[in-house]
Structure 1
Amino acid sequence: MKIVKRILKIITGIILITIVFVIIKLGVDIKRTSYLKIKNIEHANIDSYIIKNANIIPMNKDTVLVNKMIYFKNGVIQEIADNIEFDNVEIINLENKFLMPGLIDMHVHVWDRYELGLYLANSITAVRNVWGMPMHLRLKKDINDNKIIGPDFFTSGPKLTGPEFIGDDNLQLNSAEEAREKIISYKEKGYDFIKTYYGLTEEIFDAVIEQATISDMDIVAHPSQKVPYSYHFNPQIKSIEHAEDIIQQPLNYKLDTLKLNEVVNSFAKHKNSTFCPTLTVYNNIYQMLINDNILASDQLEYINPLIKMVDSKAQLDRWQNTKLRDSSIVKAIKEQHDFHLKIIKELHKAAVKIICGTDAGIGVTVPGYSIHKELAFYKEAGLSNYEVLKTATVNASETHKSMSNMGTIEVGKTANMVVLDTNPLLALSTLENPSTVFINGRKIQKETLNKFEEKARDRKNLVASFVRYLENMIIE
């Protein structure tokens, strides 16, 4: 008995030490991201300004409103005019720089608070997180409660799959009743959307759609191979994700132009269906195939360390090993990426609404920076600069009612805006270096944006990230 008691004491001691270690690590990580607290950011407690000498790109039409003034109070735009006068309001002189709505990345995977600063530093003032976990609800609450600065944050619940095991990062549903219960619970917990994923059967999918409608929760759909692709043209499904899934499902892994025309026509018939291509994450497969040293690149220092160690490494090994077995894979992946550009071109010609999403946060797709690559692909597919910018502003804002207060510079809209040195209608690359970002009317200057990037570079929060991921595994 003495030996048993001794063993139990040792086990108890190890558990207590582990708990203390975890608490310390989480505490350290929170302290290291205290630079995001609004009270620690210069000017961030002010959300009312008058801006003068601004060249406004409103994004509700293809134009520049030259040398205008704009007044916003409590983070909401009140007036746009040639001349505005108010007492006791700070005036900002833009000196004929350009002012446009902040970008919206509609498909991201957020792993920590450091990434919030990366998004802001890259002109992104709202994100749609589509792999929800308990940590995202806390993050969203802290942003909404004005405790920390970050892009407006919207999140789905966990990824919903069918009975077939697809991975420990997905939530398996085994019955229609379970599907209904989960959606009700996600609504109660505060998730904004439902994320459907690979493997949902027709019976379970029907239950998801039915309950999502009752619970008034929009669905973001990664297409399920268990139902026809056309099944996703449902009014409750607000966006269909991933260009590669068009090839993998209705085109049956063939770069078939005739079959593509059928898919495009189906999109065009269903006017409420919106498409989120995520071209960058697929193109990054090609980048991993041609650069076996990609994990050592400068930009990969901005990837969450847990993701870099586990997911980025696993993906690189997978594709490098595939290339060793079959060298033709490099050409095949490149050809599929080029076909993705054709998909965008044809959908755009058919007036299908396209929204910008990057799939940032997985593989080697870097939070914040990847949106510029995504937008450049849309440009390459034949969209004008204005049409490209619409995908990440007004189009995105029209996808969900909860986002309708952003995406354009108009009276009544939230003052989520970026100040740019040159006209993005002429050069999209200027979005890579905003001189100022306004988020809900709060001014974040270039020096602070640079600090956000510096703090996120090569961060040491692997253990804290693992604990948060483990929390999701235990709870969900």
Structure 2
Amino acid sequence: MTKSLFAFFLLIPLCTAFGFSQTYVVSNVNVITMENEEVLENHAIFVQDGEIIKILPVHEPFDGDTFQEIDGNGAFVFPGLAEFHSHIPVAEHGDDTQLQEEAMWLYLANGVLRVRGMIGHRSHLVLRDKVDSGEVAGPRLFLSGPSFSGSAVTSPDQAVQVVKAQKAAGYDHLKLHPGLSMDEFLAISKTAKELKIPFGGHISLDVGLEASLKNGYKSIEHIDGYIEALIPDYSKVMDPKIAGPFSMLLVHEAELGKLPELVDLTLETKAWIAPTLTLFDRYFGSKPAEEYRDVPEMKYMSVDQVQHWINAKTPYEKSGVLTKENVQPYLEFRNMLLMTLHKAGVPILMASDSPQVFNVPGFSIHHEIELMSNAGMSNYEILKSGSINPAAYFGQEGEWGVVKEGASADFVLVSKNPLEDLKTLKKPLMVVMKGKIYDSDELNEQLDRIAANYPRD
């Protein structure tokens, strides 16, 4: 039977606790599909069994079953955000899952609906199954296995066996850390390509950026390796006392004439960039570590965890590395690299490296968004890096990361148009994950519960 939305559907307040069926409509919303920059004003999104089945103007008749209605009150809908470089907490014992479940809520409460874990553990596979089944609330999880590093890899043959084991275990991605020899790296690359499992991460100094790209790196984390590839005297790169953290002290020696060649190679090899700007701004920035202790979102972390982060940064401060004279040119250089790659068409993944130094899950993505904007990315391209791009990265375009018919019902409601105001992303009115609704009251209750687990004096 043909039905008119406002003539038939029961209006349910936006922030009411929801206990209704999997069939509903979110009406009176402005939809940003992310297929383009158009805003579909005053539309309704029909959801059935976790899938978007129809998007229509509010007053347009709809042929279909009875739907319960949620009045969106003019909110803006977009597909949500991503954290595509995370370190999901580990549960060493089967019942030691508190930190994992808290991280999942922190992501959801910040509108982060898709997460790529970048240092894996067998407990992450269990967590992913629980999230997929609905036992645990959380975003979509894409998992890397335990990382391949100079200390974890003992030979090319051993590396091959680990690649095979991680593929068989069900991991989605391989994470590479520094310290690999060229032979070890090539063994990993060859086997990963044969098994069709993507890999990426840091660039090992003995391998270098060019060889990493030419041999199949899918994602370059932290824009790693570009500065080093631009330094004419590579011996300086190899000496951490001369180079500083992530070659901070060498940016003034970079030969930019080679950058176009590296950009072309990145495009040619179809590599992606996960910039993690906020990691460098906070960990290697000139703001003193102690000043982060009372940043509001730190209340969702234990006192010991925050102290651990302070302890991680303090040695760089004491060594004199993190002066404004060193830090500012370095951060500006990284922004230049990001925008050069972005403007050339290299796809960007929204990523903040949480929970790493002073980057609290979920909250750190909003710091990343601000820094991406300051670097020069448009609001649409920033949103794209957290929606369309992550889906394309795993070859799942149209399945999620977009608000369209046939896609998973993964979306977020906010009060203002994020194409005009990115700050509105910080306060979701409602989060929908695979059709399940989390209203603002529930999200805030979960945040309060987590904060209560870590009381301060």
Q: Same fold (TM over 0.5)?
A: yes
Out of 177, 183, 193, which is 1:197 matched to? Answer: 177
Q: 1:459 to 1:131 in 2, by over 3 A?
A: farther
Contact 2:289/2:313 (CA < 8 Å) preserved in 1? no
What is the count of residue pairs matched by the alignment?
408
Of Structure 1 and Structure 2, which has the larger fraction of its residues in helix?
1
What is the CA–CA distance in structure 1 between the aligned matches of 2:440 and 2:122, rounded to whole Å? 32
Contact 2:284/2:313 (CA < 8 Å) preserved in 1? no
Provide the identity percentage. Answer: 26
Partner of 2:218, secondary structure, is strand
* Larger mean Cα displacement after TM superposition, 227-236 or 359-368: 227-236
Match of 1:206 in 2: 186
Contact 1:155/1:191 (CA < 8 Å) preserved in 2? yes
Match of 2:73 in 1: 95
What is the CA–CA distance in structure 1 between the aligned matches of 2:19 and 2:306, rounded to whole Å? 32
Match of 2:85 in 1: 107
Contact 2:286/2:327 (CA < 8 Å) preserved in 1? no
Out of 138, 151, 163, which is 2:126 matched to? Answer: 138
Offset from partner CA, 1:183-242 (integer Å, 9 cap, x none):
221122222211111112111111111221232211132222121201222574321111
Shift of 1:249: 4.6
Partner of 2:164, secondary structure, is helix
User: How does the TM-score come out when normalised to structure 1?
Assistant: 0.80
Match of 2:35 in 1: 60
* 1:291-310 correspondence to structure 2 within 5 Å: 291-303=289-301, 307-310=305-308
* Larger mean Cα displacement after TM superposition, 193-202 or 274-283: 193-202
Partner of 1:444, secondary structure, is strand
User: How does the TM-score come out when normalised to structure 2?
Assistant: 0.84
Q: 1:435 to 1:50 in 2, by over 3 A?
A: same
* 1:271-290 correspondence to structure 2 within 5 Å: 272-287=270-285, 289-290=287-288
Match of 1:268 in 2: 267
Offset from partner CA, 1:249-289 (integer Å, 9 cap, x none):
5445324333433322322333x211111111000035564
What is the CA–CA distance in structure 2 between the aligned matches of 1:227 and 1:45, rounded to whole Å? 55
Out of 89, 93, 104, which is 1:116 matched to? Answer: 104
Residue 167 (structure 2) pairs with residue 187 (structure 1): yes
Q: What is the aligned-residue RMSD (CA, Å)? A: 2.3
Residue 314 (structure 2) pairs with residue 317 (structure 1): yes
Counterpart of 1:173, as a letter, is V
What is the CA–CA distance in structure 1 between the aligned matches of 2:396 and 2:311, rounded to whole Å? 36
Offset from partner CA, 1:152-173 (integer Å, 9 cap, x none):
11110011013xx4xxxxxx11
Out of 112, 116, 135, which is 1:128 matched to? Answer: 116
What is the CA–CA distance in structure 1 between the aligned matches of 2:20 and 2:115, rounded to whole Å? 22
Q: 1:244 to 1:96 in 2, by over 3 A?
A: same
Shift of 1:248: 3.9
Counterpart of 1:410, as a letter, is K
Counterpart of 2:186, as a letter, is D
Partner of 1:443, secondary structure, is strand
Residue 330 (structure 2) pairs with residue 336 (structure 1): yes
What is the CA–CA distance in structure 2 between the aligned matches of 1:199 and 1:44, rounded to whole Å? 52
Partner of 2:67, secondary structure, is coil
Counterpart of 1:336, as a letter, is Y
Q: 1:119 to 1:221 in 2, by over 3 A?
A: same
The unaligned stretches of length 5 or more in structure 1 are: 1-40, 166-171, 462-476
What is the CA–CA distance in structure 1 between the aligned matches of 2:264 and 2:108, rounded to whole Å? 37
Counterpart of 1:338, as a letter, is E
Partner of 1:68, secondary structure, is strand
Q: 1:48 to 1:237 in 2, by over 3 A?
A: farther
Contact 1:229/1:250 (CA < 8 Å) preserved in 2? no
Match of 1:218 in 2: 198
Counterpart of 1:143, as a letter, is V
Shift of 1:307: 3.7
Contact 1:397/1:406 (CA < 8 Å) preserved in 2? yes
The unaligned stretches of length 5 or more in structure 2 are: 1-15, 90-98, 232-236, 238-249
Q: 1:291 to 1:199 in 2, by over 3 A?
A: closer
What is the CA–CA distance in structure 1 between the aligned matches of 2:174 and 2:224, rounded to whole Å? 21
Contact 2:286/2:324 (CA < 8 Å) preserved in 1? no
Offset from partner CA, 1:415-453 (integer Å, 9 cap, x none):
110001000000011000010000001110001111121
Q: 1:434 to 1:207 in 2, by over 3 A?
A: same
Match of 1:421 in 2: 415
Partner of 2:405, secondary structure, is coil
Match of 1:17 in 2: none
Contact 1:385/1:426 (CA < 8 Å) preserved in 2? yes
Counterpart of 1:101, as a letter, is P
